[in-house]
């Protein structure tokens, strides 16, 4: 079938993207689903820093590539072997498909699925197939097995989770990345307990999702940290007990004073070594520093190693919130329905597909939390 999709041909375009237009809106041919695959009519697709890191070249991917990895939609067609979904089901797309058989999957850690990671790196679906072509039969690469900046997407059955039809689809898109990653870092990776003290550095969509996750988990103190005062204001509205602008000369001292020497859990979502270093320095003795930011692969962090022992510190990475998507997405959706995870408040803009380059300008400039491209 013919579809319109946003395609990246070269990384590292200059900003503003509204002028250089790194994403081209093209007509592509989308193949029907193969075995264990589904065709989805995309309802909404979120603009995320993980997309931006491909556009700017921080995280290289094979090109040309149809971008987009956070989305919701409606099942349009089932491939052979898919028996647990029906046409018309509402689904959230997950950007790491899990094979169910490799060592991490067998250990209950599908976010680390080895075949899934290999397929994502190669630009294919979990099966190894590519379902997108353009004039002349040239195959395009899939972004994280999803490629959802498009009217339709063919994806692995292992890349979708069914959700309630009661959830507005434009808001549901955020559960596939921002919510899984942010809330999951709090409740799965760190296992924050009621009454804990928490700091969140980097208040984009993922960071604010972590903040509302910490609030839902019962944290008694939530210190929100960012360079943008408007994001700090939004953090207060979402449950932050204190806010600190990281650009202030005494930011470190402010945070240490507010937390009586350091927080039990510090979360870094900025993808910055300076932010990660700050997160470590504001973590108290015996505490945990969690990072879900994705800096360039060449970035190195000079860890003060002796403190790991002398202060019994823990540093943990969190990928997709250490999630089990089939378990966690329905749980988070239920919390949203109860008003305990106000995911709708993270949504700051709705765009048409041909406005996507301007949307990435807003993301790059820190002027948006989560925008979604919506399709009729």
Residue 235 near residue 203, CB atoms below 8 Å: yes
The pLDDT-based confidence of 135 (bands split at 50, 70, 90) is confident
Mean pLDDT over each residue of the chain, to the nearest integer: 97
The pLDDT-based confidence of 343 (bands split at 50, 70, 90) is very high
Instruction: Give the burial string for 167-188 (b: 16+ CB within 10 Å, else e).
Output: bebbbbbbbbbbbbbbbbbbbb
For domain 2-176+342-374, give the fold.
Quinone Oxidoreductase; Chain A, domain 1 (3.90.180)
- The tokens for 180 are 């899984």
Q: Spell out the domain ranges in the chain.
A: 2-176+342-374, 182-318
Residue 159 near residue 94, CB atoms below 8 Å: yes
Tell me what pLDDT residue 140 has: 98
Tell me what pLDDT residue 309 has: 95
Antiparallel, parallel or unpaired: β 65-66 and 138-142: parallel
Tell me what pLDDT residue 296 has: 86
High-pLDDT (> 70) share of the chain, % = 100
Residue 313 near residue 287, CB atoms below 8 Å: yes
- Percent helix, strand, coil in the chain, to 5, is 35, 25, 40
The backbone torsions φ and ψ at residue 187, rounded to the nearest 5 degrees and listed phi first, read -90, -25
Arithmetic mean of pLDDT, 168-182? 97
The superfamily (CATH) of domain 182-318 is: NAD(P)-binding Rossmann-like Domain (3.40.50.720)
pLDDT, tens only, 22-79: 999 999 999 999 999 999 999 999 999 999 999 999 999 999 999 999 999 999 999 9
What's this model's pTM, rounded to 2 decimal places? 0.96
- Residue whose tokens read 């997407």: 153
Tell me what pLDDT residue 354 has: 97
Tell me what pLDDT residue 33 has: 98
Angstrom distances, CA of residue 341 to CA of 72, 126, 131, 236: 18, 31, 35, 15
Burial group, residue 25, by CB count within 10 angstroms (0-12, 13-18, 19+): middle
Which contacts of 96-103 are long-range, i.e. CB under 8 A and separated by 24 or more positions?
96/120, 96/144, 96/145, 96/319, 96/320, 97/125, 97/126, 97/145, 97/155, 97/156, 97/158, 97/159, 98/158, 98/325, 99/126, 99/158, 100/158
Is pLDDT above 80 for 376?
Answer: no
The pLDDT-based confidence of 268 (bands split at 50, 70, 90) is very high
CA 208, chain centre distance (Å): 12
Q: Which residues contact 304 (CB under 8 A, 6 or more apart)?
A: 280
- The answer to whether domain 2-176+342-374 and domain 182-318 are alike in fold is no
Tell me what pLDDT residue 312 has: 97
High-pLDDT (> 90) share of the chain, % = 97
């Amino acid at each position: 079938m013919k579809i319109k999709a946003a395609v990246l041909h070269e990384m590292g375009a200059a900003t503003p993207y509204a002028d250089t237009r790194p994403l081209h809106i093209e007509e592509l041919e989308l193949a029907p689903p193969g075995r264990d695959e589904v065709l989805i009519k995309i309802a909404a697709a979120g603009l995320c820093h993980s997309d931006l890191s491909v556009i700017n070249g921080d995280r290289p991917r094979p090109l040309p590539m149809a971008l987009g990895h956070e989305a919701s939609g409606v099942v349009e067609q089932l491939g052979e072997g898919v028996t647990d979904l029906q046409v018309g089901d509402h689904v959230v797309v997950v950007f790491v498909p899990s094979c169910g058989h490799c060592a991490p999957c067998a250990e209950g850690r599908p976010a680390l699925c080895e075949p899934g990671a290999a397929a994502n790196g190669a630009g294919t679906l979990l099966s190894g197939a590519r379902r997108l072509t353009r004039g002349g039969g040239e195959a395009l690469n899939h972004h994280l097995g999803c490629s959802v900046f498009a009217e339709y997407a063919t994806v692995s059955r292992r890349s979708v989770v069914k959700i309630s039809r009661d959830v507005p689809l434009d808001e549901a898109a955020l559960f596939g990345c921002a919510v899984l990653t942010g809330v999951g870092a709090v409740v799965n990776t760190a296992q924050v307990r009621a009454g804990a003290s928490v700091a969140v550095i980097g208040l984009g969509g993922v960071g604010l999702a972590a903040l509302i996750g910490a609030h839902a988990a019962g944290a008694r103190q939530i210190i929100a940290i960012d360079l943008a005062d408007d994001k700090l204001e939004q953090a207060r509205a979402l449950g932050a007990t204190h806010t600190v602008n990281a650009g202030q000369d005494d930011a470190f001292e402010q945070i240490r004073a507010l937390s009586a020497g350091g927080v039990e859990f510090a979360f870094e979502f900025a993808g910055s070594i300076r932010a990660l270093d700050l997160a470590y320095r504001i973590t108290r003795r015996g505490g945990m520093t969690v990072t879900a930011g994705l800096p360039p692969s060449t970035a190195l962090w000079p860890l003060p190693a002796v403190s790991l022992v002398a202060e019994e510190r823990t540093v943990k990475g969190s990928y997709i919130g250490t999630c089990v998507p089939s378990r966690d997405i329905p749980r988070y959706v239920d919390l949203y329905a109860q008003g305990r995870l106000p995911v709708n408040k993270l949504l700051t803009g709705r765009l048409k597909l041909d406005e996507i380059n301007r949307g990435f300008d807003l993301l790059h400039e820190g002027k948006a939390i989560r925008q979604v491209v919506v399709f009729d």
